[in-house]
């Protein structure tokens, strides 16, 4: 019987395709790496030396409890932007037979990025410098963010290890929700055709190899920061990178079925609900980036609301002028472009600056959507490039023009835009944008082409004609019994 069992097992293994065996081997190897890390950590563990430094009931002198409470709240608001905000927004825009697949892509991105973030990504993007060129910080050291001594310490980031009055777990969680939403954003470019298996491989690799380096360069005080480039809350790191990845992914994966290429949202009500969650969540997105409950946090929140509202009005007026009617899809898209464009500048500009950014966000991405996108000949399903890439670039450049020293004194003393006499700031903002584009597009495209050697990037035509039921064995909306 044992011999028969062995023969049966060998015959089953022989049936497995080489691709399935590779996926199995990669999964096993990943688990081996994780368990090896845990084993080494357990074997070399030393209790933190500062356990008796503070009595259990006391508060460390560096901790600002109000700021910590705001940071946890802001992080949760940003998390809600992914789950369920962005998922509902994109789900409503998708075709009915792909709604579950669209929701699942964003849900998976959140879960997989969290694991990668805690094991490698956070310290790669925000930790102590691992790679430097002269005095310029290039990359952190990709070590786990899980040790007790690390979690109990004061938050400090980047090559200079600038400290803040919050604990490290609050910083790690806050930065994670930004990392998690970024793949969710560019998912909109490749919905309704990308292979879910390819998506499962691409997202964690992209997060580690693309997002974390960008975060180090522009969020954590790395080399672009050191040259003077700024990105208050992710206009470049999140939105421009998502827009450029959208183009790379659309090129690598290829278009949807010909019959699916016209945007026809299946549920505009869901789009509205998702947009509302995104808009209010953006108060945490931008309001949390001073890393405390500060004057600048309040300025950033007010500027965020103003830019979003102004963009909506500007976009609606253009729709009424050229399409002869306002649409809710247009208005919700405009809210997103306004919120995206203010993101790199929210804590650097005054209210007039936010108004200007809102007008620009309601007009330039509108033109990109109506005129530029159709000429690219790429199937960017939900218009991620104009909504995030173009809007993020617009806001980043305007930050270099409109940064007001009377506002920046609260968060970045000395930062001055071209309007106030510092033309260099506009130039370095343009350079930073070029660096992001030059890095993100080839790396994203190369990752997808490597993945395509092991598993198809696109679902089969048979599955695409059926949708959720064929890809996942379940459907998002059941109108039966």
- Per-residue pLDDT tens digits for 288-311: 999 999 999 999 999 999 999 999
**What tokens appear for 238 in the block?**
């999140």
84 preceded by cis ω (within 30°)?
A: yes
For 329-459, list the strands marked E by DSSP: none
| Strand 162-167 to 136-140 pairing | unpaired
* Sites in the chain below the pLDDT cut of 50: 1-16
3-state secondary structure 219-261: CCCCHHHHHCCCCCCCHHHHHHHHHHHHHHHHHHHCCCCHHHC
The reported pLDDT for the residue numbered 288 is: 97
Question: What three-state secondary structure class fits 167?
Answer: strand
Torsion of CA 73, 235, 422, 427, to 10 degrees: 160
What's the burial of 474, exposed, middle or buried (CB within 10 Å: 0-12/13-18/19+)?
A: exposed
**What tokens appear for 149 in the block?**
């001594």
* Residue 232 and residue 399 in contact, taking contact as beta carbons nearer than 8 Å: yes
**What tokens appear for 315 in the block?**
């976009």
Give the class (CATH, top level) of 74-472: mainly alpha
The reported pLDDT for the residue numbered 5 is: 43
Helix or strand holding residue 131 (H, E)? strand 129-133
Q: CA 267 to CA 279: how far, in whole Å?
A: 19
Residue with tokens 């106030």: 420
According to DSSP, the residues that pair with 154 across neighbouring strands are 167
**What tokens appear for 79 in the block?**
């998390």
What's the distance, Cα to Cα, between the start and end of the chain in Å?
Answer: 48
- How many other β-carbons are positioned within 10 Å of the β-carbon of residue 456? 14
Question: What three-state secondary structure class fits 303?
Answer: helix
The reported pLDDT for the residue numbered 42 is: 57
Q: What's the pTM?
A: 0.89
The reported pLDDT for the residue numbered 13 is: 43
b/e map 318-332, b = 16+ CB within 10 Å: bbeeeeeeeeebbbb
Residue with tokens 């929700």: 177
Those residues with Cβ within 8 angstroms of residue 374's Cβ, 6 or more apart along the chain or in another chain: none
The reported pLDDT for the residue numbered 15 is: 44
**What tokens appear for 322 in the block?**
């050229």
Task: Tell me how far CA of residue 132 lies from CA of 332, 379, 417, 431, 437, in angstroms.
Answer: 43, 39, 28, 20, 22
According to DSSP, the residues that pair with 157 across neighbouring strands are 162
- How many other β-carbons are positioned within 10 Å of the β-carbon of residue 41? 12
Q: CA 98 to CA 221: how far, in whole Å?
A: 41
The reported pLDDT for the residue numbered 399 is: 99
Task: Tell me how far CA of residue 480 lies from CA of 92, 475, 477, in angstroms.
Answer: 20, 11, 9
What's the burial of 229, exposed, middle or buried (CB within 10 Å: 0-12/13-18/19+)?
A: buried
- How many other β-carbons are positioned within 10 Å of the β-carbon of residue 249? 27
Please choose, from the candidates 274, 243, 247, the residue with its C-alpha nearest in 3D space to the C-alpha of residue 391.
243
Residue with tokens 């190897």: 29
């Amino acid at each position: 019987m044992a011999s028969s069992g062995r023969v049966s097992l060998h015959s089953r293994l022989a049936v497995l395709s080489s691709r399935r065996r590779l996926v199995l081997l990669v999964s096993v190897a990943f688990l081996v790496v994780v368990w090896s890390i845990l084993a080494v950590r357990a074997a070399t563990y030393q209790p933190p030396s500062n356990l008796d430094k503070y009595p259990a009931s006391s508060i460390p002198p560096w901790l600002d409890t109000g700021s910590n409470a705001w940071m946890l709240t802001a992080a949760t608001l940003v998390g809600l932007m992914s789950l369920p905000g962005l998922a509902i927004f994109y789900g409503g825009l998708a075709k009915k037979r792909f709604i579950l697949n669209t929701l699942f892509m964003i849900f998976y991105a959140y879960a997989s990025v969290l694991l990668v973030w805690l094991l490698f990504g956070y310290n790669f993007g925000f930790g102590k410098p691992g790679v430097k060129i002269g005095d310029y910080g290039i990359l952190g050291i990709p070590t786990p963010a899980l040790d007790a001594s690390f979690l109990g310490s004061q938050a400090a980031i980047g090559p200079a290890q600038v400290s803040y009055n919050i604990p490290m777990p609050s910083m790690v969680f806050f930065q994670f929700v930004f990392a998690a939403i970024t793949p969710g954003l560019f998912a909109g470019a490749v919905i309704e055709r990308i292979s879910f298996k390819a998506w499962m491989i691409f997202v964690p690799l992209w997060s580690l190899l693309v997002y974390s380096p960008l975060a180090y360069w522009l969020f954590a005080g790395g080399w672009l920061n050191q040259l003077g480039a700024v990105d208050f809350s992710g206009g470049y790191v999140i939105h421009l990178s998502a827009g450029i990845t959208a183009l790379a992914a659309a090129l690598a994966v290829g278009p949807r079925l010909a019959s699916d290429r016209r945007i026809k949202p299946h549920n505009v009500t869901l789009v509205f609900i998702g947009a509302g969650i995104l808009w209010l969540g953006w108060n945490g997105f931008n309001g949390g980036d001073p890393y405390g409950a500060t004057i600048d946090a309040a300025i950033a929140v007010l500027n965020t609301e103003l830019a979003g509202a102004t963009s909506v009005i500007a976009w609606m007026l253009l729709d009424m002028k050229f399409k002869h009617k306002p649409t809710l899809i247009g208005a919700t898209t405009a809210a997103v472009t306004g919120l995206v464009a203010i993101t790199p500048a929210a804590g650097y500009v005054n209210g007039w600056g936010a108004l200007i950014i809102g007008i620009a966000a309601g007009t330039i991405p509108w033109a990109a959507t109506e005129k530029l996108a159709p000429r690219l000949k790429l199937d960017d399903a939900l218009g991620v490039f104009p909504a995030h890439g173009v809007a993020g670039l617009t806001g980043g450049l305007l930050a270099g023009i409109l940064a007001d020293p009377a506002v920046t004194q609260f968060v970045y003393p000395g930062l001055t835009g071209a309007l106030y006499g510092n033309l260099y700031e506009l130039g370095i903002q343009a350079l930073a944008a070029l660096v992001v584009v030059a890095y993100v597009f080839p790396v994203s495209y190369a990752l997808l082409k490597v993945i395509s050697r092991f598993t198809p990037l696109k679902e089969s035509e048979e599955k695409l004609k059926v949708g959720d039921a064929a890809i996942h064995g379940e459907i998002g909306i059941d109108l039966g019994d």
